Amino acid sequence: MANPWDHPAPEIGPVPRPNAAGLGRVSLRTLAQNLGEPAWRGDQLFAGLYRQRWTDWQAFSPLSKGFRERLAAQVDLTWPAIIQSEPSADASTKHVFALEDRCQIEGVHMPYGDRTTLCLSSQVGCAMGCTFCATGQMGIIRNLSSAEILGQVMAMVLHHQHPVEKPLNLVFMGMGEPLHNLNHVMEAFETLTDTEGLAIPPRRITVSTSGLGTGIERLGAFPRRPRLALSLNGTTDEHRSKIMPVNRVWNLAALADGLSRFPLQAGERITLEYVLLKGITDSLEDGRRLIAFARRFPSKINLIPFNVHEGSGFEPPEESRVGALCRLLSDAGLTVSVRRSRGQDVAGACGQLVRQGQGRPPKLP
């Protein structure tokens, strides 16, 4: 009988090279040490990547020639690839990024006069299953690493040659539920806010959640953290549970309670995002209940007319209704803005471009 062990050894592919792009300060120090350099050289790598935005090891002028050569020979410096860019008539650009495993995610670059806002993804897909959301319909594929979260920022900053002095705002309102990936979001937050790197002030970073009670509590416990936005999108438990299954676990009363206890800094407010779905969430009674909810804690309201996508089964509200609700809320003394979903002509709401293509990596043969 043939020896069952007597078969050719499986072929093992080359060990992947480490990629420095997206690493935080501590990992870069370790990387420097692994290449025979003192740990503080990692801080020079950090400043080179995030402050100088160098994309080639040869550009790292503070490092010795020998170290640069070792880096070039052994370590990649590769940001996520932008594989599709859809500029919109309103000057925003929606990008599709290909990750190392060929999963795809979306990010949006939105230049406003004196500042630019970047909309970021936190996951490939999303587990929350909100019925109106294209990402929700994909299901969850995986969490993004902190390097992939940071990679979206750096890839867009480099692509658009974002001037160093121009303020950047970041919103986690792309694909995914950031509080389901809080560890990696907070790891990225540390690098994004580091004053020797991109130096983005924490108050310019907003995490938007569908309402994970435990995640909100965990976020509130960080001494340095991003701001919080809640996707309310419904004003009765009955309606909200129908479009956002998470409401069956943390209902409106639990959310209002959790948000009233959220430790806000002076002047800080929680943003309430409210998607207007024609005939479902856009009645004037909804408006009145929204006022009552919003008064429970310091808040501001962002009305978002539904961004239509194929097969969703929902419709955007009448323009006149958007105006009426806006007036109702502002007459009640609340701060209210209407998000004219940017990039509507290029499948603007999150998850729509990727779903047209592929969220998942292609199956192996």
Name the residue nearer to ligand SF4 (CB basis): 136 or 359. Answer: 136
SS3 258: helix
Determine, following the binding rule CB under 6 A, whether residue 219 of this chain makes contact with ligand SAH: no
Q: Choose between 48 and 176: whose C-beta lies nearer to ligand SF4.
A: 176
Beta strands at 205-209 and 227-231: parallel, antiparallel or unpaired: parallel
Active site residue 350: yes
Among the listed residues 37, 103, 106, 133, the single catalytic one is 106
Sign of CA dihedral 51, 52, 53, 56: negative
Residue 93 binds ligand SAH, judged by CB under 6 A: no
- Of the pair 133, 259, the CB lying nearest ligand SF4 is at 133
Task: Report whether 132 contacts 243 (CB < 8 A).
Answer: yes
Helices (H), ranges, 50-167: 65-74, 134-138, 146-159
* Contact set for ligand SF4, span 101-160 (CB under 6 A): 126, 128-130, 133, 135-136
208 binds ligand SAH (CB under 6 A): yes
Show the binding pattern over residues 337-356: x = contacts ligand SAH (CB under 6 A), - = does not.
----x-------xx------
Element (H, E) at 115: strand 115-119
Q: Does 210 bind ligand SAH (CB under 6 A)?
A: yes
Amino acid at 8: P
| Residues 6 or more apart in contact with residue 258 via CB below 8 angstroms | 213, 216, 217, 250
Q: Does 307 bind ligand SAH (CB under 6 A)?
A: yes
Alpha carbon distance 148, 144 (integer Å): 6
Q: Could you give the string, one character per residue 140-179, with x where binding to ligand SAH holds by CB under 6 A and - elsewhere?
A: ---------------------------------x---x--
What's the token pair of residue 365? 């043969």
Nearest alpha carbon to residue 303 among 286, 314, 295, 120: 286
Tell which residue, 308, 247, 65, has the closest CA to residue 230.
247
d(CA 106, CA 147): 15
- Based on the shown chain and the rule CB under 6 A, indicate whether residue 235 belongs to the binding site for ligand SAH: no
Contact characters 266-305, ligand SAH, x per CB under 6 A? -------x-x----------------------------x-
Q: Is 106 a catalytic residue?
A: yes
Catalytic residues: 106, 350
Q: Catalog residues that contact ligand SF4 under the rule CB under 6 A.
A: 126, 128-130, 133, 135-136, 176-177, 210, 231
